[in-house]
Amino acid sequence: MPRNPRYDILFEPLRIGPVTAPNRFYQTPHATGMGNMKPNSSAALRATKAEGGWGVVCTEYCSIHPSSDETPYAYLSLWDDEDMQQLEITCAAIHRHGSLAGIELWHGGRHSNNRGTREVSLAPTAVSAKHANPAQVKGMELEDITAFRSWHRDAALRAQQAGFDIIYVYAGHDYLPFQFLSPVSNQRQDEYGGSLENRCRLLRELIEDTRAAVGEHCAVAVRLAIDELHGADGIEAAGEGRQIVEMLAELPDLWDIALGGRLGNDSCSSRFSAQGYQEQYAAIVKSLTSKPVVSVGRFTSPDTMVSQIRRGVQDFIGAARPSIADPFLPNKIAAGREDEIRECIGCNICRSANNEASPLRCTQNPTMGEEWRRGWHPEIINPAKSEASILVVGGGPAGLEAASSLGRRGYQVTLAEASAQLGGRVVDEASLPGLQNWIRVRDYRAYLLSQMSNVEVFLDNRLTAPDIVAFGADAVVVAEGSHWRRDGQGLNLQHPVTIEQSECIHTPDDIFAGAKLSGRVLIYDDEHYVMGGALAEKFLAAGLEVTYLTPQAMISSWTVMTDEQDFIQSKLLGMGIEAVFTQLIDHVDGQELHTRHIYSNNKYRHAFDHLVLVTGRSANSDLFAELDIGATRIGDCLVPSSIADAVYSGHKFAREFDEDPATLLCRRERAVLQQALPPRQNPSRSHP
């Protein structure tokens, strides 16, 4: 199918200093949780982006010196020539597909805990370390600044030698160069502190140093947080953020605009931001410089992309999360297949992987992070090995993914869903405040299924075990999901408690089934992801009086991993929620929840008109237990978990069906053993 001509502007080549990007699709730097410990996995991931049509593909943050160490989190490094040789693999993989390779040189400053290297942490001013209490950081002396500039220059030279085309000066996300810019973190009284011109001095020097070192062959990019979202106390876009760009407007070859002093602002989830939400900030920079500008905004619509470019908001379409959800997004637009884009849902499960110090994963794209380890490709899947017919029971995220991937392989697939619509739990969760984009998990797969002549879908079709046996499929996959527990068992309580069931005690399943609530609603959350907080927001918006009670010390505590927790708690407190922390359910008696404090063991009673238990979930395994024909369980029906894990489970089954088990072993990246040093000689001792 030919490309829609209104998208032609997205495929125009664009000059960035001494290099030229083949199109306007720009994969901005983003973490992978792989870093320098998994160079092959990292290279394969970036190569997939380049193959998918991203004209510029950047790495994650790359440390320039051992004093910028974020153990146990994974990051790249360019401390020496061995690091450079590792990164040559990534550059070659990106260049193989005609894309430019970019690298983000990084020093974390007070964010670097240096737990691995045990180097002294550095910052503009001597303060407490950001994430390594009780440690302090050293306020940099002039010789430290000189050394830092030399480390940055050396790393830039190694990056050029490794083959990178774009080299970043990274002044965003509250890392060291930005710490010099911000009056919040820079309390110096010398030429690097005080006035904005002085606070900009180091950034100016880094740009000039990098250009002098590599600018003849490599583009020099600046990633700048134009507004740290601290209000008048910090840098604001309309004030000093604008002035910084005015001072340095023509020095770099490209401006990459970030937002906020922390990553949760720049990669804000769809629950708290719309597509293109950084437009006003990019537009300010674009109005001040003749150099190309790029910014992110969770772009998935080509019409929104074209609009921003034509209106002069930015020159490139920056993306991290959309390029994770669909590495082939540019090629699909180029081929007139934009209806097949696997759209990012903005759930930030990708961010949770990095925050948990684990390799990248994605709700929409189960192949993400598996490119080298399992050899999975987002657009290529092995053809069917037989003429087997497969019955998939359940049309939730796992069943949809299994059916669509088996269909892509060419198998004859029948999908039976008990309800009147596909989606399972996705339909329910996408109905909650701010989570509407989650329905894309269903819509993408339902569309694929609708295009497959070898797949039949039956709705309102609740199958029994005899029905399944009578159907006679060669293989049966049970994906009937899970249900919320009613016995109080959750993360912090590993056994059931006494709960006298009544019409005023509910689980999320009851809420989605239409249960009517009134008066005082008490939510007991021992699951700690989005459900408890999202239900609280739903009830508050309906005018109910809501108390949120949890054994944890904050609302929706696991969403720290998805960079959402402070947004959630701020919003709910602003809406008037009453929050009770560090109390564990003991039992429910009538319309009173009895709890005990997890530290003091003090006892409490909480009256309610309605109680909503958001605790653990149990697999819907009854149907599977009745079958004796060798069926397979997948997704929540096997182990309740996230939607991302359910999709992955369905995809893994589809990939491995009919395959030789000997070919399915995962590859592992292993540390290289250095040549052993000679044994240490103990000095001889004289004895009296």
> Stretch 581-609: mean pLDDT, rounded?
97
Determine the Cα angle at 286 with ends 282 and 290, to 5°: 150
Instruction: Indicate whether 10 and 123 sit together in one domain.
Output: yes
Reported confidence tier of residue 674, pLDDT bands at 50, 70, 90: low
User: Residue 28 falls within a domain, yes or no?
Assistant: yes
User: Residue 321 falls within a domain, yes or no?
Assistant: yes
> Stretch 156-178: mean pLDDT, rounded?
97
Reported confidence tier of residue 679, pLDDT bands at 50, 70, 90: low
Structure tokens at 312: 């002069």
Strands (E), 82-233: 100-106, 122-123, 138-139, 166-171, 219-225
Q: Containing H/E element for 46?
A: helix 39-51
Instruction: Indicate whether 422 and 561 sit together in one domain.
Output: no
Instruction: Indicate whether 204 and 256 sit together in one domain.
Output: yes
Instruction: Indicate whether 590 and 644 sit together in one domain.
Output: no
Q: In this structure, what is the dihedral angle of CA atoms 280, 281, 286, 287, given to the nearest 10 degrees? A: 70
What value does the CA radius of gyration of the chain take, rounded to a whole number of Å?
27
Question: Residue 231 sits in a domain of what CATH number?
Answer: 3.20.20.70
Instruction: Indicate whether 22 and 97 sit together in one domain.
Output: yes
Q: Do 653 and 634 meet the contact criterion of CB atoms below 8 Å apart?
A: yes
Q: Do 313 and 286 meet the contact criterion of CB atoms below 8 Å apart?
A: yes
Reported confidence tier of residue 94, pLDDT bands at 50, 70, 90: very high
Distance, CA of 192 to CA of 199 (rounded, Å): 5
pLDDT, tens digit, 9 for 90 and up, residues 9-61: 999 999 999 999 999 999 999 999 999 999 999 999 999 999 999 999 999 99
Q: Which residues of 248-283 are buried (b: 16+ CB within 10 A; e: fewer)?
A: beebbbbbbbbbbbbbbbbbbbbbbbebbbbbebbb
> Stretch 191-195: mean pLDDT, rounded?
98
pLDDT, tens digit, 9 for 90 and up, residues 465-490: 999 999 999 999 999 999 999 999 99
- Output the CA torsion sign for 354, 359, 363, 365: positive
Structure tokens at 520: 């005082």
168 carries an active-site annotation: no
Instruction: Indicate whether 493 and 468 sit together in one domain.
Output: no
Instruction: Report how many domains make up the chain.
Output: 3
Looking at residue 680, what is its pLDDT? 54
How high does pLDDT run on average in the chain?
Answer: 95
What percent of the chain clears pLDDT 70, i.e. is strictly above it?
A: 97
pLDDT, tens digit, 9 for 90 and up, residues 211-240: 999 999 999 999 999 999 888 889 999 999
Reported confidence tier of residue 135, pLDDT bands at 50, 70, 90: confident
In this predicted structure, the answer to whether residue 639 has a pLDDT above a threshold of 80 is: yes
CA-based nearest residue to 585, from 546, 540, 627, 615: 615
In this predicted structure, the answer to whether residue 66 has a pLDDT above a threshold of 70 is: yes
> Stretch 618-627: mean pLDDT, rounded?
97
Question: Residue 591 sits in a domain of what CATH number?
Answer: 3.50.50.60
> Stretch 248-252: mean pLDDT, rounded?
98
Looking at residue 688, what is its pLDDT? 40
- Catalytic residue, candidates 175, 192, 411, 524: 175
Predicted structure pTM score: 0.95
- Output the CA torsion sign for 315, 320, 321, 327: positive
Strand partners, 583: 597
Q: Do 582 and 597 meet the contact criterion of CB atoms below 8 Å apart?
A: yes
User: Residue 504 falls within a domain, yes or no?
Assistant: yes
User: Residue 533 falls within a domain, yes or no?
Assistant: yes
Of the listed ranges 143-147, 258-262, 272-276, 605-609, the one predicted with least confidence: 258-262
Range of the domain at 552: 485-617
CA-based nearest residue to 530, from 603, 614, 588, 446: 614
Instruction: Indicate whether 109 and 14 sit together in one domain.
Output: yes
Instruction: Show which of 561, 593, 617 is a domain's final residue.
Output: 617
Looking at residue 677, what is its pLDDT? 56
Reported confidence tier of residue 129, pLDDT bands at 50, 70, 90: confident
Compare 260 and 472 and report the one with higher pLDDT. 472
Torsion-angle region of 423 (φ positive above 0: left; ψ -120 to 50: alpha; else: beta): left
User: Residue 45 falls within a domain, yes or no?
Assistant: yes
In this predicted structure, the answer to whether residue 685 has a pLDDT above a threshold of 80 is: no
In this predicted structure, the answer to whether residue 687 has a pLDDT above a threshold of 60 is: no
Q: How far is CA 77 from the centre of its chain?
A: 21
User: Residue 460 falls within a domain, yes or no?
Assistant: yes
Instruction: Indicate whether 265 and 343 sit together in one domain.
Output: yes
User: Residue 53 falls within a domain, yes or no?
Assistant: yes
Instruction: Indicate whether 629 and 611 sit together in one domain.
Output: no
Query: Could you tell me where the DSSP H helices lie in 329-473?
Result: 329-334, 349-355, 397-409, 425-429, 440-450, 465-471
